[in-house]
Amino acid sequence: MYKPKPYNERSDGGKKTIEVSQSEIAAFIRTMRYLKFSCGEPECLPYAGSDALNRLLDAMIDAADESAREREVFAQPNPTAEIFVRGRIARTEDEENGELEPELLELGAAACLYPHPTAELEHPGEEWNFLLPAEKIYSGEALVQHLTRVMYEEGSPERIEKDWRRIPLQIRNLLAAIDFDTELQMNGLLGALRSRSGRGPGLLAGMFAALGLDEDSRLIAELSKRRDTEEKGDRIDYSESFWNALSEAERRLSALHDPDLFYRKMFEYAEPNRLSCSKQTNGGS
């Protein structure tokens, strides 16, 4: 397991004592979260995995009022962040026309993920691993096409449902987006809401928000809430107000009136996953 290299007075230039407030500590921890798990610029990569910054992050967490809670959160693997980190490393490799040795790649991913441990996504063994492509995926569109083909194969829906909560969040959102779009084309918006992807509070709204379609997220959240109210018990006799809300959502939902935007957002969202979503990169098929 990765640990930052210990402080070295000669190479690190000596120690200084500073005073920081709790708000400054919280701001630093938030900044490091962004640098490590959200910033997509390749220039961020050396800082995201810096031993010096990781040591400072440790010190800030220890000094925080909510230290115990922060440690508890960071003690858990974060597959979503790991997918992002590995994808960012892959893009940097591609841009620099190089390829890291597996050991260096693993060390770099672990340093960037720290204080989270790695989830060892490189070792196939999870039930959901059958979703991953056998070869490296270079575009979000290619990943979406692969998932669309695999998720509807015989037995796949049952396997996905069984291990749903263990599938990384980005893959879950893509599966939900694909299933929603399929049901939308076949059975309309109401059918899509009642499909697998429409089950569970906030699933579809969260998917649209993750894709950056905030207006769609709000429309779906409101419509899902109305549908849940209307479908209580055995009665499925929708009121006039529900049909009006459904018509309004059909008029404004980008997946219906601007499908090109919906697909583009889906492909963009899939893009950072290309390294982790590969059995070849994850230890072979």
DSSP codes joined into one string, 85-98 = HHHHHHHHHHHTT-
Range from 10-19, 37-46, 127-136, 260-269 carrying the lowest mean pLDDT: 127-136
Q: Which domain holds residue 216?
A: 127-273
DSSP 164: G
138 with 99, same domain? no
96 with 173, same domain? no
Averaged pLDDT score across all residues of the chain: 78
CA 274 to CA 126: how far, in whole Å? Answer: 18
- Output the CA torsion 41→43→45→51 (10° steps): -140
**Would residue 281 count as lying in a domain?**
no
For the chain, what is the domain count?
Answer: 2
Q: Is the pLDDT of residue 146 over 60?
A: yes
* Helices vs. strands in the chain: H and E counts, helices first: 15, 0
pLDDT value of residue 44: 84
Provide Rg for the chain, Cα atoms.
Answer: 22
**Would residue 199 count as lying in a domain?**
yes
**Would residue 175 count as lying in a domain?**
yes
pLDDT value of residue 282: 36
213 with 106, same domain? no
pLDDT value of residue 14: 77
CA 96 to CA 240: how far, in whole Å? Answer: 59
Which of 78-92, 93-107, 153-167: highest mean pLDDT?
153-167
pLDDT value of residue 13: 74
77 with 207, same domain? no
pTM assigned to the model? 0.53
Which of 15-19, 33-37, 43-47, 132-136: highest mean pLDDT?
33-37
The type of residue at 134 is A
Number of residues in the chain: 285
Provide the pLDDT confidence category of residue 53 given band limits of 50, 70 and 90.
very high
142 with 264, same domain? yes
**Would residue 82 count as lying in a domain?**
yes
**Would residue 159 count as lying in a domain?**
yes
133 with 256, same domain? yes
Q: Which of 118, 47, 53, 123 is nearest to 84 (CA)?
A: 118
- Which has more pLDDT, 165 or 248? 248
169 with 71, same domain? no
Boundary of a domain, candidates 113, 135, 168: 113
* Number of other CB atoms surrounding residue 89 within 10 Å: 22
Provide the pLDDT confidence category of residue 60 given band limits of 50, 70 and 90.
very high
pLDDT value of residue 125: 43
106 with 132, same domain? no
Q: Is the pLDDT of residue 284 over 70?
A: no
- Which has more pLDDT, 167 or 213? 213
**Would residue 282 count as lying in a domain?**
no
**For the residues 99-108, what does the mean pLDDT come to?**
56
211 with 149, same domain? yes
The type of residue at 215 is E
100 with 154, same domain? no
CA 103 to CA 118: how far, in whole Å? Answer: 14
Sequence-ordered strand ranges (E) for 110-205: none
Both tokens of 26, joined, read: 């919280």
Q: How far is CA 128 from the centre of its chain?
A: 15
Share of the chain above pLDDT 70, in %: 77
